[in-house]
């Protein structure tokens, strides 16, 4: 399970949003509701007409025109059918419209997430929201909301009809069931939400566990994990079974209670209504029609109750989707404008967790146009320093400035024009090869795209595929090394004056990588490049090398100077070259 | 599979039967109640009301019992399928990825178990429905032959009349699902590439593209709704017309005195009731087909056999020798293997670990004669494709349950990874090491292999994704961690090669040179150019 990192909207926010949605299209909504109302109204004719017939039979009448009554029933049925058709269509169309708006707004919110959140949060939580929560909300908007509205409209008309046809007296018996349904449903709903969440999570754990076993089958054999994986499956099954049993026990109480709630009014109306009839307070017609109405009321009521917990699931999903907008913006533009291209870090400290600084007072002057390589062991803080130099996070203390202006005080658009970061994490977007490069500068022409690809040694294979080739998920598969080339090509196209490359060529074959870095350097001549590298020749080729160890810059100077100095860098270089 | 279900299935069928029959009898009891009322027979009215109530109670009780049995049957089928598939996956091991796509097997988890469960569930409800239809038919025919026939013929005709709508509905639903899938992929794509988009721009382009696809999906949704709403209308119209016909015919009989008023109410009730069991039967046909397809897929997976089998020879400690290439993994030393073409080195590692066939001996005994489990315990091949599983980190690193995790983490230079986790080694990590970078995953895999501490460990490119500083440290610590054991490292890193006791250089699948790293650097120019990573200018 991925940890939830992004915020979740509170109940009041969800409610306010749902209310806004409901009244956003007043005309369409009222038209759909009116159609459903009329359909329900036509549905009321059948029992009334049948009740009349039964009355006639009971009275022993002979001059009844059965055909007219049957035709009337058929006519009302036809009207109801046509109205239902348009009512369902109208509400579905409205639902699709609202749904499309909801998901588009969500994607807009995701695309507006602050850079520091995106870099820190990882994608697990966001992917869950994008897939599972959007799905859950679709179900709610497509089915639960319309079904509940229809059930409410139909139910209200039925009760109304009961009053009109049977009079208040006939409505009394059915009230017997209200407390039973009300109390049992409240009891159930208070428990069902968490129960179904747990059930869903346990089931997901089970299928994910199976997927892991399958995907890691070779590893299972290599490390002798057979028993562990079997035990894991059995344990997941136990977890899922316990969750299923619990929600089943809830239903075991609620279902019979509600079913009794359906039967009691029918029996009560027949029996009490029958007693009233023996007292001549009501007619046969009233009892028959009343009983049939009550029986028909079961359907909307059942729909209402069966969709109501879906509504809970939907609102939980909605809370997570809306929550994405609750991430506070991380940049506070102060209006400062950079004077020059020089990037400077002064006494920079940074901590991911309070009290655990990973950078301890770093001072660094990056000279405009230079090629600075950062080397050092994993976990020394190279990547963190890289992100600070790219203006993604602000330092805990100290400053990182470009031309004297603090990087985190620049608006995002301005920042992107100044400095950009490419990490070893790469992603090929679903779309054409051209689209994948154009992200850097959407208005660029094919010539510029070609030049960018040439600069990263990618033109040879890119030309073979063609710029119109569909790549990414479902398209032509692109190797990780090629994906890194695309990421660099984007950057070349975007053309900021300072580039931070965090292991940006780590997946490319060593010999090729070196060639690439050289051709890239030619294109980027005059630009400042800060390269975090795990291959020493990157350091060898750079103007200056900064060795980062334990959150400090321990050595800084040109390759030759450092080798001369005979420090740790020299020792490493020595063992590498031998 | 149905046979294995046993008790809950049969109980479920019994409950389903009682449940349907109780529902079927309610209209009859209701009709008799109306008759009693018309006769002002209070006793009869009370009796029939009691009968309706009793049927209601039976319906509620058998309904939930049936539901419970259905859930148990569903779960039983689903769990058994998961269990069998998982056991089969562990049995097939390295054979599985060669013979099946993972998608194929994972779809078992995602949809097939649901289909199999649904099929079990419908067996239960469907068989009850058949009986219910039969019961109502008998009651109706005995009350009035023409009316009974009308309902009996009318209901199936009505059910069939809806079917022409189902095909276009399914087609449009299919199109909608496809578009929805594409849209979800697009959203996932945006999230996965969000760093890039927020880093250098392009959000607007993607927002617009998503909007276009979202609107297309909306269009498909509306097209589905237009058929669906027709279906809803038809489902009102057709039974409604039948009810009108029943009322017409029934009223004539009633007025002629051939039928009581109550029976007229009953027939109205039957016509309404019969719709449900008939729908269940249509559903059954669909679900059983899907269940059969799913079961077939599962059976196919279950019928596969592992490619590599073992013999019964006694496993003896000793050198592991690949006759084809001449590479020998000696006891007590770190051997390194560098190849001009990386695939050749991997092929040798696979042969040595007996993931593919070849002439390989362990302590002089051909490995194909050794029991597979014993061989796997003795020789571990750790490559970069190895999966990391979800669980607490300590548990996932210490796969044999008796290793020194801390020492292995130190040797693999993975302390910083562990330190950054909120609960250190006791932190729960997500599957596939999703939260770790490529270099971190590689060090964790190395730590796991070292914790397992097998007699012979074969590491394939264990430091390809770590920086030079860390690589140097790992190379130094590896020799200490593996002291006294046999280790083979497939690598082209000079830092690692320099620490090895003995190095083989492989060209054209043969060891063409061997010695220490420094000896080879001077003796073989090919070796030199392979391992200095193009430093020579």
A105-156: per-residue pLDDT in tens? 988 988 888 877 776 655 566 777 777 788 888 888 888 888 888 888 888 8
Most confident option among A77-81, A471-475, B386-390: A77-81
Give pLDDT, residue B347. 87
The residue of chain A with its CA nearest to that of B55 is A263
A364 — alpha (psi -120 to 50), left (phi > 0) or beta?
beta
- Residue A525, pLDDT > 90, answer no
Angle between helices B275-302 and B145-192 (to 10 degrees): 50
What φ, ψ does residue A440 adopt, rounded to 5°? -65, -35
- Residue B333, pLDDT > 80, answer yes
In a shared domain, residues B19 and B127: yes
Give pLDDT, residue A138. 84
Q: Do A99 and B71 touch (CB under 8 A)?
A: no
In a shared domain, residues B433 and B455: yes
Strand spans (E) along A144-187: none
CB-nearest to B210 from A104, A226, A438 is A104
The residue of chain B with its CA nearest to that of A215 is B102
Strand spans (E) along B288-419: 320-322, 327-329, 334-339, 360-362, 365-366, 379-382, 391-392
Q: How confident is the model at residue A93 (pLDDT cuts 50, 70, 90)?
A: very high
Whole-number Cα distances in Å, A231 to A238, B389, B391: 10, 14, 13
Q: What one-character-per-residue DSSP string does A522-564 give?
A: HHTTTSEEEEE-SSHHHHHHSSEEEEEETTEEEEEE-HHHHHH
Work out whether the CA dihedral B48, B51, B57, B61 comes out positive or negative.
negative
pTM given for the model: 0.75
Cβ A180 vs Cβ A263: under 8 Å: no
Closest C-alpha among B14, B275, B280 to residue B122: B280
In a shared domain, residues B395 and B507: yes
Q: Do A264 and B86 touch (CB under 8 A)?
A: no
A281 close to B (CB below 8 A):
no
- Residue B526, pLDDT > 60, answer yes
Give pLDDT, residue A341. 83
B92 close to A (CB below 8 A):
yes
Give pLDDT tens digits for B277-316: 777 777 777 788 878 888 888 888 888 888 777 778 788 8
Give pLDDT tens digits for B499-516: 888 889 988 888 888 888
The residue of chain A with its CA nearest to that of B210 is A104
Chain A hits for B469, Cβ within 8 Å = 375-378, 380, 572
Chain B hits for A97, Cβ within 8 Å = 218
Chain A hits for B48, Cβ within 8 Å = 270
Q: Do B184 and A80 touch (CB under 8 A)?
A: no
Final residue of a structural domain among B307, B340, B361: B307
Give pLDDT, residue B533. 56
> What does the pLDDT average to over A277-296?
84
Q: How confident is the model at residue A363 (pLDDT cuts 50, 70, 90)?
A: very high
The residue of chain A with its CA nearest to that of B380 is A222
- Residue A534, pLDDT > 80, answer no
Chain B hits for A138, Cβ within 8 Å = 180
Give Cβ neighbours of residue A27 (< 8 Å, ≥ 6 apart): none
Q: Do A473 and B190 touch (CB under 8 A)?
A: no
In the three-class reduction of DSSP (H, G, I as helix; E, B as strand; rest coil), residue A328 is classed as coil
In a shared domain, residues B517 and B369: yes
Final residue of a structural domain among B307, B338, B368: B307
In a shared domain, residues B300 and B348: no
> What does the pLDDT average to over B329-341?
86
> What does the pLDDT average to over A198-206?
81
The span from the first CA to the last CA of chain B, in angstroms, equals 69
Give pLDDT, residue B216. 94
Give pLDDT, residue A557. 92
Chain A hits for B83, Cβ within 8 Å = 233-234, 237
Give pLDDT, residue B102. 63
Share of chain B above pLDDT 90, in %: 7
Give pLDDT, residue B107. 66
In a mutational test of the A interface, the residue from B92, B387, B531 whose CB has the highest number of chain A CBs within 10 Å is B387
> What does the pLDDT average to over B201-218?
88
Residue for token digits 């998901």? A103
- Residue A169, pLDDT > 90, answer no
Give pLDDT, residue B537. 36
Give pLDDT, residue B536. 42
In a mutational test of the A interface, the residue from B32, B37, B57, B249 whose CB has the highest number of chain A CBs within 10 Å is B37
Strand spans (E) along A323-428: 343-353, 356-366, 371-375, 397-402, 405-406, 419-423
Q: Do A429 and B189 touch (CB under 8 A)?
A: yes
With respect to residue B165, please indicate whether it lies within any of the assigned structural domains: no
CB-nearest to A115 from B30, B198, B353 is B198
In a shared domain, residues B77 and B111: yes
A465 close to B (CB below 8 A):
no
Residue B359 to residue A143: CA distance in whole angstroms? 63
B355 close to A (CB below 8 A):
yes
Give pLDDT, residue A250. 92
In the three-class reduction of DSSP (H, G, I as helix; E, B as strand; rest coil), residue B312 is classed as coil
With respect to residue B475, please indicate whether it lies within any of the assigned structural domains: yes
Two tokens, residue A515: 């060639």
Give pLDDT, residue B106. 65
Which carries the bigger pLDDT value, residue A135 or residue A74?
A74
In a shared domain, residues B352 and B302: no
Give Cβ neighbours of residue A527 (< 8 Å, ≥ 6 apart): A369, A495, A496, A497, A498, A499
Give pLDDT, residue A160. 85
CB-nearest to B201 from A127, A439, A503 is A439
Chain A hits for B59, Cβ within 8 Å = 259, 263
Complex prediction ipTM: 0.81
Q: H or E element: which one contains B468? A: helix B468-481
DSSP 8-state code for residue A62: -
> What does the pLDDT average to over B218-234?
90
> What does the pLDDT average to over A154-166?
83
Give pLDDT, residue B320. 82
Q: Do B59 and A207 touch (CB under 8 A)?
A: no
CB-nearest to B535 from A74, A240, A537 is A537
Q: Give the range among A112-121, A366-375, A564-573 with minimum mean pLDDT.
A: A112-121
- Residue A512, pLDDT > 80, answer no
Q: How confident is the model at residue B393 (pLDDT cuts 50, 70, 90)?
A: confident
Question: A with B: how many residue pairs have Cβ under 8 Å apart?
Answer: 486
> What does the pLDDT average to over B374-383?
86
Closest C-alpha among A521, A502, A503, A552 to residue A345: A552
Give pLDDT, residue B37. 87
A429 close to B (CB below 8 A):
yes
CB atoms within 10 A of CB B463: 27
Give pLDDT, residue A1. 36
Chain A hits for B64, Cβ within 8 Å = 251-252, 255-256, 259
In a shared domain, residues B40 and B121: yes
The CATH number assigned to the domain holding B112 equals 1.20.1560.10
The CATH number assigned to the domain holding B402 equals 3.40.50.300
> What does the pLDDT average to over B149-154?
82
Which of A:115-134 have CB within 8 Å of B? 115, 118-119, 122-124, 126-127, 130-131, 134
Share of chain A above pLDDT 90, in %: 15
- Residue B104, pLDDT > 70, answer no
B421 close to A (CB below 8 A):
no
Q: How confident is the model at residue A561 (pLDDT cuts 50, 70, 90)?
A: very high
CATH architecture of A343-577: 3-Layer(aba) Sandwich (3.40)
Give pLDDT tens digits for B404-450: 888 888 988 888 888 877 788 888 776 656 567 677 888 989 999 98
Which of B:444-473 have CB within 8 Å of A? 448-449, 452, 465-473
In the three-class reduction of DSSP (H, G, I as helix; E, B as strand; rest coil), residue A505 is classed as coil
In a shared domain, residues B293 and B373: no
In a mutational test of the A interface, the residue from B83, B238, B352, B389 whose CB has the highest number of chain A CBs within 10 Å is B389
Number of domains in chain B: 2
Give Cβ neighbours of residue A63 (< 8 Å, ≥ 6 apart): none
Q: Do A575 and B494 touch (CB under 8 A)?
A: yes
Q: Give the range among A123-127, A249-253, A502-506, B92-96 with minimum mean pLDDT.
A: A123-127
Average pLDDT, chain A: 84
Two tokens, residue A172: 């009394």
Cβ B364 vs Cβ B491: under 8 Å: no
What CATH number should be reported for the domain whose range is A11-326? 1.20.1560.10
Whole-number Cα distances in Å, A334 to A396, A402, A406, A501, B431: 18, 14, 9, 27, 43
Closest C-alpha among B252, B248, B331, B488 to residue A77: B248
Chain B hits for A201, Cβ within 8 Å = none
Give pLDDT, residue B79. 87
The domain spans of chain A are 11-326, 343-577
What φ, ψ does residue A259 adopt, rounded to 5°? -60, -40
DSSP 8-state code for residue A216: T
In a shared domain, residues B412 and B517: yes
> What does the pLDDT average to over A170-189?
85
Residue B120's domain comprises 1-144+284-307
């Amino acid at each position: 399970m991925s940890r939830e990192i992004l915020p979740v909207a509170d109940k009041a926010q969800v409610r306010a949003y749902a209310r806004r949605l409901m009244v956003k299209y007043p005309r369409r909504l009222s038209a759909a509701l009116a159609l459903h109302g009329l359909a329900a109204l036509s549905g009321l004719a059948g029992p009334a007409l049948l009740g009349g017939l039964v009355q006639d039979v009971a009275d022993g009448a002979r001059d009844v025109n059965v055909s007219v009554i049957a035709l009337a029933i058929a006519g009302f049925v036809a009207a109801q059918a046509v109205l239902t058709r348009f009512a369902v269509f109208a509400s579905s169309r409205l639902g699709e419209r609202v749904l499309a708006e909801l998901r588009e707004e969500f994607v807009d919110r995701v695309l507006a997430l602050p850079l520091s959140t995106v870099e820190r949060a990882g994608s697990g939580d966001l992917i869950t929201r994008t897939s599972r929560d959007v799905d859950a909300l679709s179900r709610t908007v497509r089915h639960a909301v319309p079904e509940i509205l229809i059930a409410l409209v139909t139910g209200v008309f039925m009760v109304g009809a009961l009053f009109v046809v049977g009079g208040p007296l006939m409505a009394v018996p059915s009230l017997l069931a209200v407390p039973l349904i009300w109390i049992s449903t409240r009891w159930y709903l208070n428990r069902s939400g968490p129960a179904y969440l747990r059930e869903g999570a346990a089931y997901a754990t089970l299928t994910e566990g199976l997927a892991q076993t399958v995907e890691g089958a070779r590893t299972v054999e290599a490390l002798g994990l057979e028993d562990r994986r079997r035990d894991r499956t059995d344990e997941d099954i136990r977890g899922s079974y316990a969750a299923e049993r619990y929600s089943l026990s809830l239903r075991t109480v609620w279902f019979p209670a509600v079913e009794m709630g359906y039967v009691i009014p029918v029996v009560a109306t027949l029996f009490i209504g029958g007693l009233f009839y023996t007292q001549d307070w009501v007619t046969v017609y009233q009892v028959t029609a009343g009983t049939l109405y009550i029986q028909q009321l079961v359907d909307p009521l059942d729909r209402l109750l069966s969709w109501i917990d879906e509504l809970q699931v939907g609102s939980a999903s909605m809370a997570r989707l809306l929550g994405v907008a609750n991430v506070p913006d991380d940049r506070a533009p102060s209006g400062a404008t950079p004077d020059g291209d020089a990037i400077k870090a002064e006494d920079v400290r940074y901590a991911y967790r309070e009290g655990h600084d990973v950078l301890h007072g770093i001072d660094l002057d990056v000279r405009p146009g230079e090629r600075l390589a950062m080397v050092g062991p994993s976990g020394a803080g190279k990547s963190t320093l890289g992100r600070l130099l790219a203006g993604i996070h602000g330092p805990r203390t100290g400053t990182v400035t470009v031309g004297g202006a603090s990087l985190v005080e620049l608006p995002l658009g301005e920042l992107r024009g100044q400095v950009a970061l490419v990490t070893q994490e790469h992603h090929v977007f679903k779309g054409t090869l051209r689209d994948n490069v154009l992200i850097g500068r959407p208005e660029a022409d094919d010539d510029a795209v070609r030049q960018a690809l040439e600069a990263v040694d990618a033109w040879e294979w890119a030309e073979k595929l063609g710029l119109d080739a569909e790549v990414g998920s479902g398209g032509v598969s692109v190797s990780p090394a090629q994906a890194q080339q695309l990421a660099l090509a984007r950057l070349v196209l975007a053309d900021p004056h300072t580039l931070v490359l965090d292991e940006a060529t780590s997946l490319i074959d060593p010999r090729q990588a070196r060639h690439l870095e050289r051709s890239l350097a030619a294109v980027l001549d005059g630009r400042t490049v800060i390269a975090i590298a795990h291959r020493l020749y990157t350091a060898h080729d750079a103007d200056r090398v900064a060795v980062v160890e334990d959150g400090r810059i321990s050595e800084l100077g040109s390759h030759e100077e450092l080798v001369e100095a005979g420090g740790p860098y020299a020792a490493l270089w020595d063992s590498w070259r031998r | 599979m149905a046979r294995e279900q046993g008790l809950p299935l049969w109980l479920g069928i019994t409950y389903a039967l009682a449940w349907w029959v109780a529902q079927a009898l309610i209209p009859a009891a209701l009709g008799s109640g109306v008759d009693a009322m018309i006769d002002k027979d209070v006793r009869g009215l009370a009796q029939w009301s009691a009968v309706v109530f009793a049927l209601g109670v039976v319906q509620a009780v058998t309904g939930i019992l049936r539901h419970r049995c259905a859930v148990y049957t569903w779960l039983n089928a689903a769990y058994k399928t998961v269990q069998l598939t998982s056991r089969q996956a562990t049995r097939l091991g390295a054979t599985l990825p060669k013979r099946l796509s993972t998608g194929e097997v994972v779809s078992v988890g995602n949809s097939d178990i649901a289909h199999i469960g649904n099929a079990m569930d419908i067996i239960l409800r469907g068989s009850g429905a058949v009986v219910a239809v039969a019961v109502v038919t008998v009651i109706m025919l005995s009350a009035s032959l023409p009316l009974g026939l009308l309902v009996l013929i009318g209901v199936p005709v009505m059910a069939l009349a809806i079917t022409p709508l189902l095909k276009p509905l399914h087609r449009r639903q299919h199109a909608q699902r496809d578009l929805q899938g594409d849209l979800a992929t697009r959203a996932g794509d945006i999230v996965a590439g969000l760093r890039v988009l927020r880093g250098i721009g392009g959000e607007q382009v993607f927002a617009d593209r998503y909007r276009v696809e979202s609107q297309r999906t909306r269009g498909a949704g509306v097209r589905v709704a237009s058929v669906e709403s027709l279906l809803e209308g038809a489902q009102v119209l057709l039974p409604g017309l039948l009810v009108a016909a029943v009322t017409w015919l029934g009223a004539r009989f009633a007025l002629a005195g051939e039928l009581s008023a109550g029976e007229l109410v009953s027939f109205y009730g039957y016509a309404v009731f019969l719709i449900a069991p008939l729908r269940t039967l249509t559903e059954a046909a669909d679900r059983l087909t899907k269940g059969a397809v799913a079961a077939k897929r599962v059976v196919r997976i279950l019928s596969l056999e592992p490619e590599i089998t073992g013999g019964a020879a006694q496993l003896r400690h000793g050198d592991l020798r690949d006759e084809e290439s001449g590479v020998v993994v000696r006891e007590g030393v770190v051997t390194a293997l560098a190849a001009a073409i990386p695939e050749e080195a991997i092929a040798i590692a696979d042969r040595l670990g007996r993931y593919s066939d070849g002439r390989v001996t362990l302590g002089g005994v051909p490995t194909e004669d050794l029991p597979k489990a014993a061989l796997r315990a003795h020789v571990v091949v750790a490559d970069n494709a190895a999966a990391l599983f979800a669980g607490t980190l300590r548990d996932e690193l210490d796969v044999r349950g008796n290793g020194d995790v801390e020492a292995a983490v130190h040797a693999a230079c993975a302390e910083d990874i562990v330190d950054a986790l909120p609960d250190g080694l006791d932190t729960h990590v997500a599957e596939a090491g999703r939260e770790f970078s490529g270099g971190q995953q590689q060090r964790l895999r190395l730590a796991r292999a070292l914790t397992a501490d097998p007699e012979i460990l074969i590491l394939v490119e264990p430091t390809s994704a770590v920086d030079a500083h860390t690589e140097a440290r790992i190379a130094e610590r590896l020799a200490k961690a593996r002291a006294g054991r046999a280790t083979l490292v497939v690598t082209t890193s000079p830092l690692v090669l320099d620490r090895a006791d003995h190095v083989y250089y492989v060209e054209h699948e043969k060891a063409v040179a061997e010695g220490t790293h420094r000896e080879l650097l001077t003796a073989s120019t090919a070796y030199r150019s392979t391992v200095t990573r193009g430093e020579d200018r």
